[in-house]
Copies of this chain bind each other. A is one copy, B any other.
Amino acid sequence: MRGGEKSKVKKLFEIDKYKEFPRWYTEVLMKCDIVDARYPLKGMYVWKPYGYKALRNTLEILRKLLEEKGHEEVYFPMLIPESIFSKEKDFLEGFSGETFIVTGTPSKKLNEILYVRPTSETVIYYMWSIWIKGRKDLPIKIYQCVNVFRYETKATHPLLRVREIAAFLEAHTAHASKEECEKQIKEALEVYKEFFNELLLPYFIVLTPPWDTFSGAEYNYDFITAMPDGKALELGSVINLGQKFAKAFNIRFMDSDGKMKYVWQTCYGVSERVLGAVISIHGDNKGLIFPPKIAPIQVVIVPVARPEDHEIFNYCRKVARHLRQKGVRTHVDEDLEHTPGWKYYYWDMKGVPTRIEIGPRELKTKSVTIARRDVREKITVPLNQAVEKLREVWSKIEFNLREKALEHLKKMTKIVKEDINKAVGFKGLIVVPWCGKENCADEIESTIGKGVLGEIVESPLTLPSKGKCICGSIVRKFALCGVTY
């Protein structure tokens, strides 16, 4: 390892994540080959192979969880005629301003304008009004993973706020009764909790205030976390649609009592934004750190050898074959131009959670040296124990990343018991006692300059048993406040 090169590489990625988060985020996405932001349309990004693999691995976790609970994958058309898009008044009002439209081809105008889905409620529920006839057609539980579009007028950020959501994983369900519908909301919350737990992300769950509820919904829950710059990020939404869409689309079934009844509906969705959170929250000043479960490469093997040490290179390939056979996503860096030291920095930057170093000593003893990405720690183990040890190391990494993420959230959250003025100027999330009234929310918002995101129903941090709302009343409820992306 040549020292000069080492320090040069070190400088290549060395950004203080907390002090310069916007620059850190932009650079990490670009240098680690997640997305390319140079496509000349605002809010639309090119997913590179490395980033796309991470995205697929991430969403695969959720797909499995949904399928275990009986959701089936479907695909509904992207274009929606105005007659269908406009059926539910609140939805139309909430979305029409930010929805792209197709008007025809360069040479031909269509008779009716077509909306490019910003989300798929209308197209799906139109079909359900045809599909659903009787009780035996219920429940329906489906999901799809599709591109959706929103004409965002705010500043766009790759993965976090975009005009083309490349991967919107939206689930939709219909039920025969209000109770089943509420049960489904609980199931969806459990699924998302498990999903975010797998991603090692801590979150608040809030019940969105009525004035911020999804257009066309009865109520919805949001999963919210804090980003390194202190802003709030909505990770996912679980929405109880009640019967609003059922009535707008006339989705009815013949119940066992012979009466025609409207169905009860829910929907819930996440997007590539989740990966944006994983990247931002787990990364450090040296670059990305991928949780092992979603890492495109789980192990990079670096030969500590001169180009002519063929035996070491052969042994590296043998180790790689062994690991791949056991299902470990493995890459051997056989590049001859760079030193091992350079490679360590490079793969650290790319967030590979574990590195295997193989030099003359490992070759001789048929062993491998495993180095962790998240902390400085190396162990040397016999090859036949490598997979087992890797899994142990990954568990430790997961534990550590989860702890660190929770620490981060603690630092980024200020919990107020009474005097809200103490929170003024705090740059992260703020938890305040809140009686639930809209005018108190207004007053809270104008005092701290942050929006009331909802009433906290689940918190990763211990909250006081009670507190004083801005109106003076003693309450046991707390609001989460923050500036959103």
Interface residues of A (CB under 8 A from B): 36, 38-41, 44-49, 52-53, 56, 72-79, 81, 83-84, 96-108, 113-114, 116, 123, 126-127, 130-131, 142, 146-147, 149, 151, 164, 166-167
Contacts and interface: CB of A to CB of B under 8 A. Distances in A.
A113 B47 CA distance: 23
A114 B42 CA distance: 12
Contact of A97 (B102, B105, B131): B105
Given A36-B130, A101-B106, 20 more contacts: A36-B127, A38-B130, A40-B83, A46-B77, A46-B127, A49-B74, A56-B73, A75-B166, A77-B164, A79-B100, A96-B105, A99-B106, A101-B102, A101-B103, A101-B104, A101-B105, A102-B116, A103-B103, A105-B151, A146-B147
16 contacts: A36-B131, A46-B75, A46-B77, A47-B75, A49-B74, A52-B72, A53-B72, A75-B166, A79-B100, A97-B107, A100-B102, A101-B105, A104-B151, A106-B113, A146-B147, A147-B147
A108 B77 contact: no
| Copies of this chain assembled into the complex | 2
A126 B108 CA distance: 27
Contact of A98 (B40, B100, B105, B151): B105
Contacts of A44: 77, 79
Q: Which of A52, A75, A100, A146 is the most central at the interface, judged by chain B CB atoms within 10 Å of its CB?
A: A75
B105 A164 contact: no
A38 B131 CA distance: 10
B147 A78 contact: yes
Contacts of A114: 41
A81 B126 CA distance: 32
A48 B77 contact: no
Pairs of residues from A and B, 6 with the lowest C-beta to C-beta distance, nearest first: A49-B72, A47-B75, A44-B77, A100-B102, A103-B103, A105-B151
Contacts of A104: 100-101, 151
B39 A52 contact: no
A154 to B, nearest CB: 15
Nearest to A40: B81
Contacts of A79: 41, 44, 100, 149, 164
A106 B85 CA distance: 12
Contacts of A164: 77-79
A376 B361 CA distance: 63
A52 B78 contact: no
A480 to B, nearest CB: 31
Contact of A52 (B75, B96, B127): B75
A162 B299 CA distance: 43
Nearest to A163: B79
Contacts of A39: 76-77, 123, 126-127
Nearest to A164: B77
A56 to B, nearest CB: 7
A10 B167 CA distance: 42
A106 B86 CA distance: 12
Contacts of A74: 46-49, 52
Nearest to A105: B151
A47 B81 CA distance: 18
Contacts of A38: 127, 130
Contact of A49 (B126, B130, B142): B142
A49 B103 CA distance: 30
A104 B99 CA distance: 8
Given A41-B77, A84-B40, A164-B77, A102 B105 contact: no
